[in-house]
Amino acid sequence: MNQDQLKQLVGRAAVDYVTSGEVVGVGTGSTVDCFIDALAAAIAEGRLTVAGAVSSSERSTQRLQKHGIRVLDAAEVTGLTVYIDGADEIDGQGHMVKGGGAALTREKIVADLADRFVCIADASKLVQTLGKFPLPVEIIPMAAAQLTRRFATLGGTATLRAGVVTDNGGHILDVTGLSITDPAAFEAEVNQWPGVVTVGVFARNKAQVCLLGGADGVQTLTF
Ligand SMILES: O=C[C@H](O)[C@H](O)[C@H](O)COP(=O)(O)O
């Protein structure tokens, strides 16, 4: 199976984690696109109903609406049973690096509303230690140079993602050269640097379940 087929596999598997009749939290990315399509198919076939979705990006909102799935504002719900999203990296404890698609801030907001984060990913995303994938950080534009110097003190090289403006009007720094051995401490530290909107380490909002697609099918990891 190629990577696209693995994404479709885990996208379909994630539908089983949606509680019928409820509002579902929806992440962003190519794997989530597969989930949205599988969710729409399950609804069309009468296997499931949903009261709607809270979306983490304009991209996912458009795809959900194209399928006729109602999109609610995050402010319209007080909580969600489940949030389903991909990751750029996930470790053996469910900590993730996210934001390759620049949606990390809204993803963290919607994930924080949910009782359970179900991560869907192909097996290449599983790592021992976070940091090989360039770490996305959403920032206030005027802080770019200052934050670049600050990441250098941690051994990181930050590069501004050219031409990218997030759904919130922020910019993205991608930071290479980091080895994130304590994700919770790293997230807490970087989050309070002035100019940082959201750091792409998800430790406080880590996954409770990961559906990992590999040669042998879907492996379910629980944390
Ligand atoms: O901002 C984007 C998100 O964090 C994605 O969930 C992440 O980049 C994984 O995306 P994909 O499923 O396309 O690999």
Please determine, for residue 1, whether its predicted confidence score (pLDDT) is greater than 90: no
pLDDT at 210: 98
Q: What is the CATH number of the domain that holds 170?
A: 3.30.70.260
Residues annotated in a binding site for substrate: 28-31, 85-88, 98-101, 125
Same domain, 76 and 170: no
The token pair that represents 11 in the structure block: 């996208």
Looking up tokens 């996912």, which residue turns up? Answer: 60
Q: Per the structure block, which two tokens stand in for 121?
A: 């990913």
Residue of 89, 107, 138, 187 marked catalytic: 107
> Do residues 122 and 20 share a domain?
yes
CATH of the domain at 40: 3.40.50.1360
State whether residue 79 is helix, strand or coil: coil
Residues 145 and 55 in one domain: no
H/E element holding 55? strand 52-55
Nearest CA to ligand 1 atom 9: 87
User: What's the domain range around 77?
Assistant: 3-127+204-222
**Count: domains in the chain:** 2
Say yes or no: 30 and 115 in one domain. yes
pTM: predicted TM-score of the whole model, two decimal places: 0.96
- Please check whether residues 46 and 69 belong to one and the same domain: yes
110 and 181, same domain (yes or no): no
Residues 100 and 16 in one domain: yes
The answer to whether residues 103 and 59 touch, using CB atoms and an 8 Å cutoff, is yes
- The predicted pLDDT at position 75 comes to 97
12 three-class SS: helix
Q: ipTM surpassing 0.85, yes or no? A: yes
101 and 177 in a single domain? The answer is: no
Is 138 assigned a catalytic role? no
The tokens for 193 are 């640097």
pLDDT of residue 87: 98
CB of residue 174 inside a 6 A radius of ligand 1: no
Both 162 and 143 in one domain: the answer is yes
CB contact burial 86-116 (16+ within 10 A = b; e otherwise): bbbbbbeebbbbbbbbbbbbbbbbbbbbbee
Give the distance (Å) from ligand 1 centre to CA of residue 64. 16
CA distance 199 to 26: 19
Spacing, Cα 13 to ligand 1 middle (Å): 17
For 38-59, what is the mean pLDDT? 97
